[in-house]
């Protein structure tokens, strides 16, 4: 009898533990819910964010908001799932994404604080105040004194109308911002995915971050992926990781960044700062504007081994590309800018700044400061004839407390309908090889293996060149002198702009199209 009682007691304890550990689904419905309900079914849903903010969630739990409902204030999430059981915030029902509106009364409409193994998806987020306020955000993912946070997934959000400050030194603002820091316990992300989000009219920035940027306090976030997002009408920068290792930024569209930042500030479409081994690929950036920088892409200072490849840049006021380093900032804080690779990109009609203090300065490629060991190869730079007063410089190298050193420019097609030039200033050890030049050029660098001929594109580009599909016009005809005329510059098998294989040890085509 005693054994039977013990077995029964053990069964009760096991059942209790099972019930306690079983994942729960909570429902939220601002139209029909009530905070006195259990929240455990659709007809017993909660009503407010305040109730949700009190939740203590377990691995595998879900919190679902009814579609086509609206919530005012701030949603706060602090929880930890595990590798096999993420915690999920999402929606249920038919209709538009549930909308969370900070109305400018909170710093961030959604705050995810010290969380990991979390999926947050399918929401509309806005935070528009009566006047601009510095550090105002739509979504803020914050780690502080936490350690390593694993596997956070942000997906399918519509974030719009966030009026932070457009002045960087005031603190800016953003649609999505992640921060990792802490003085007691250094913290970083390992696995942060931001994908399939639409971001519109956010100031100052679109998707940005803050982290341990100094080399003397280096503690990078790893495995950050920013993919398939569409950013439109951004006050300053589009996408900027900071203090990261191995970030992948791919298949994003950034349209009209840099729309509202003032003189004295700078912004660009997509760029890393204080990051190592960043890969930026298959992105389209266009119509970036502003009084300074305003390029489509940038490899900035304190970065090593940035790869910018297979991207499409067009109609950016400041040009296609910036590569820079501030020579007055040195170790132990700043390692410099080392080993940037720019390959298989298309730049069309970039560089047309006509306003502000720096009107008339907008080279297609601007390399400034003591950047080291840069390789620019197999790109297409296409310049239609520019009106008088527009900068027609293809590559400009100049000083930012030092000059570029050891730059390779090879296998590129430079195509201009007018007259373009090159400005090398006091940069040193520049190696121009096997480039094709079409059009009229001033100060053209000495280029062993150069080709002075029409590249023979399949056709001339349309007036509307939005989207990658339009770029097939830049494939080469079979009779093009660019075919097989380049130098082998890769040690492993890669692909050209259109996906054709490029094998090491064999002479590739000049430009972006292999066969």
Cis peptide before 332 (omega within 30 of 0): yes
- The tens digit of pLDDT for each residue in 47-90 reads 999 999 999 999 999 999 999 999 999 999 999 999 999 999 99
**Average pLDDT value for residue range 482-499:** 95
| pLDDT of 238 strictly over 70 | yes
Whether residue 510 is contained in a domain is answered as: no
Band of residue 3 on the pLDDT scale cut at 50, 70, 90: low
Q: What is the pLDDT of residue 20?
A: 47
Are 23 and 58 in contact by the 8 Å Cβ rule? The answer is: yes
How many Cα atoms are found within 13 Å in the side-chain-facing hemisphere of 186? 9
Phi, psi (degrees; rounded to nearest 5) at 12 = -60, -45
The conformation of residue 154, written as its DSSP 8-state character, comes to E
Residue 16: burial class (beta carbons within 10 Å; 0-12, 13-18, 19+): exposed
Residue numbers of the domain that contains 349: 23-502
Q: Compute the distance between CA of residue 181 and CA of residue 210 in angstroms, rounded to an integer.
A: 8
Band of residue 330 on the pLDDT scale cut at 50, 70, 90: very high
Does the pTM exceed 0.85?
Answer: yes
Tokens 């059942």 identify what position?
15
Q: Does residue 353 sit in helix, strand or coil?
A: coil
| pLDDT of 178 strictly over 50 | yes
**Average pLDDT value for residue range 441-449:** 97
Q: What is the pLDDT of residue 511?
A: 98
Q: What is the pLDDT of residue 386?
A: 87
Q: Compute the distance between CA of residue 205 and CA of residue 127 in angstroms, rounded to an integer.
A: 14
Give the count of beta carbons closer than 10 Å to the beta carbon of residue 240.
26
**Average pLDDT value for residue range 379-383:** 97
Q: Compute the distance between CA of residue 323 and CA of residue 342 in angstroms, rounded to an integer.
A: 10
The conformation of residue 7, written as its DSSP 8-state character, comes to H
Tokens 């936490």 identify what position?
146
Whether residue 198 is contained in a domain is answered as: yes
**Average pLDDT value for residue range 169-188:** 96
Band of residue 12 on the pLDDT scale cut at 50, 70, 90: very low
| pLDDT of 15 strictly over 60 | no
Structure tokens at 500: 């054709």
Name which of 400, 302, 378, 313 is nearest 352 in CA terms. Answer: 313
Structure tokens at 186: 């250094």
Q: What is the pLDDT of residue 17?
A: 42
Q: Compute the distance between CA of residue 146 and CA of residue 84 in angstroms, rounded to an integer.
A: 21
**Average pLDDT value for residue range 394-399:** 98
Q: Does residue 252 sit in helix, strand or coil?
A: coil
> How much is the mean pLDDT over the chain?
95
Whether residue 231 is contained in a domain is answered as: yes
**Average pLDDT value for residue range 171-182:** 97
Band of residue 515 on the pLDDT scale cut at 50, 70, 90: confident
Q: What is the pLDDT of residue 54?
A: 97
Percentage of the chain lying above the pLDDT 90 cut:
92
Instruction: Give residues with Cβ within 8 angstroms of 504, minimum separation 6.
Output: 488, 490, 491, 492, 493
Tokens 């601009």 identify what position?
132
Whether residue 8 is contained in a domain is answered as: no
Q: What is the pLDDT of residue 11?
A: 45
Q: What is the pLDDT of residue 132?
A: 97
| pLDDT of 195 strictly over 70 | yes
Q: What is the pLDDT of residue 5?
A: 52
- The tens digit of pLDDT for each residue in 16-44 reads 444 446 899 999 999 999 999 999 999 99
Q: Does residue 470 sit in helix, strand or coil?
A: helix
Whether residue 112 is contained in a domain is answered as: yes
Whether residue 383 is contained in a domain is answered as: yes
Q: Compute the distance between CA of residue 480 and CA of residue 306 in angstroms, rounded to an integer.
A: 31
Whether residue 290 is contained in a domain is answered as: yes
Whether residue 2 is contained in a domain is answered as: no
Instruction: Give residues with Cβ within 8 angstroms of 246, minimum separation 6.
Output: 222, 223, 224, 276, 277, 278
**Average pLDDT value for residue range 416-438:** 97
**Average pLDDT value for residue range 339-350:** 98
- How far are the Cα atoms of 255, 268, 380 from residue 320, in angstroms, in the given order? 14, 10, 11
Q: Are strands 494-495 and 501-502 parallel, antiparallel or unpaired?
A: antiparallel
**Average pLDDT value for residue range 230-255:** 98
- Across the strands, what pairs with 64? 27, 90
Output the domain CATH number for residue 263: 2.160.20
Are 342 and 375 in contact by the 8 Å Cβ rule? The answer is: yes
Q: Tell which wins on pLDDT, 216 or 19.
A: 216
Q: Tell which wins on pLDDT, 256 or 4.
A: 256
271-285, 438-452, 456-470: segment of lowest average pLDDT: 456-470
Structure tokens at 404: 């570029």
- How far are the Cα atoms of 140, 146, 174, 391, 440 from residue 179, in angstroms, in the given order? 8, 12, 12, 38, 48
Domain tally, the chain: 1
């Amino acid at each position: 009898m005693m054994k039977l009682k013990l077995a029964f007691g053990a069964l009760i304890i096991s059942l209790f533990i099972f019930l306690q550990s079983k994942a729960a689904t909570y429902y939220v419905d601002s139209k029909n819910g009530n905070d006195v309900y259990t929240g455990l079914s659709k007809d017993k849903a909660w009503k407010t964010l305040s109730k949700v903010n009190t939740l203590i969630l377990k691995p595998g739990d879900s919190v679902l908001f009814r579609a086509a409902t609206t919530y005012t204030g701030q949603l706060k999430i602090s929880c930890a799932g595990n590798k096999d059981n993420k915690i999920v915030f999402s929606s249920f029902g038919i209709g538009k994404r549930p909308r969370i509106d900070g109305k400018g009364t909170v710093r961030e409409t959604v705050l995810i604080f010290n969380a990991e193994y979390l999926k947050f998806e399918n929401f509309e987020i806005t935070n528009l105040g009566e006047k601009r306020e510095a550090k105002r955000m739509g979504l803020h993912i914050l780690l502080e004194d936490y350690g390593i946070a694993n596997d956070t997934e942000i997906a399918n959000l519509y974030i719009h109308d966030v009026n932070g400050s457009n002045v960087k030194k005031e603190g800016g603002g953003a649609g999505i911002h992640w921060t990792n820091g802490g003085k007691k316990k250094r913290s970083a992300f390992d696995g942060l995915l931001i994908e399939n989000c639409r971001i519109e009219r956010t100031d100052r920035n679109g998707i940005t971050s803050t982290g341990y940027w100094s080399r003397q306090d280096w503690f990078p976030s790893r495995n950050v992926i920013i993919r398939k997002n569409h950013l439109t009408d951004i006050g300053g920068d589009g996408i900027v990781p900071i203090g990261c290792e191995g970030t992948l930024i791919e298949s994003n569209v950034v349209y009209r960044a840099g729309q509202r930042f003032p003189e004295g500030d700078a912004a660009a479409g997509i760029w890393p700062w204080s990051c190592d081994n960043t890969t930026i690929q298959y992105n389209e950036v266009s119509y970036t504007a502003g009084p300074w920088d305003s390029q489509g892409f940038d490899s900035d200072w304190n970065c090593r081994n940035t790869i910018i490849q297979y991207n499409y840049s067009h109609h950016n006021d400041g040009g296609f590309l910036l590569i820079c380093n501030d020579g007055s900032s040195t170790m132990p804080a700043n390692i410099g800018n080392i080993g940037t690779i720019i390959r298989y990109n298309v730049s069309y009609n970039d560089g047309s700044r006509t306003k502000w203090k720096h009107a008339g300065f907008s080279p297609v490629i601007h390399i400034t400061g003591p950047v080291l060991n840069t390789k620019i190869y197999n790109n297409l730079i296409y310049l239609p004839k520019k009106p008088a007063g527009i900068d027609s410089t293809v590559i400009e190298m100049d000083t930012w407390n030092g000059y570029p050193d050891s730059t390779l420019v090879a296998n590129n097609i430079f195509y201009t309908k007018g007259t373009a030039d090159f400005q090398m200033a006091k940069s040193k050890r520049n190696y121009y090889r096997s480039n094709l030049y079409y059009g009229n050029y001033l100060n053209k660098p000495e280029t062993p293996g150069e080709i002075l001929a029409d590249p023979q594109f399949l056709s001339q580009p349309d007036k509307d060149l939005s989207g990658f599909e339009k770029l097939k016009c830049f494939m080469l005809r079979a009779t093009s002198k660019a075919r097989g005329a380049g130098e082998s510059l890769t040690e492993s098998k890669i692909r050209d702009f259109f996906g054709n294989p490029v094998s090491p040890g064999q002479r590739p085509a000049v430009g972006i199209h292999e066969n």
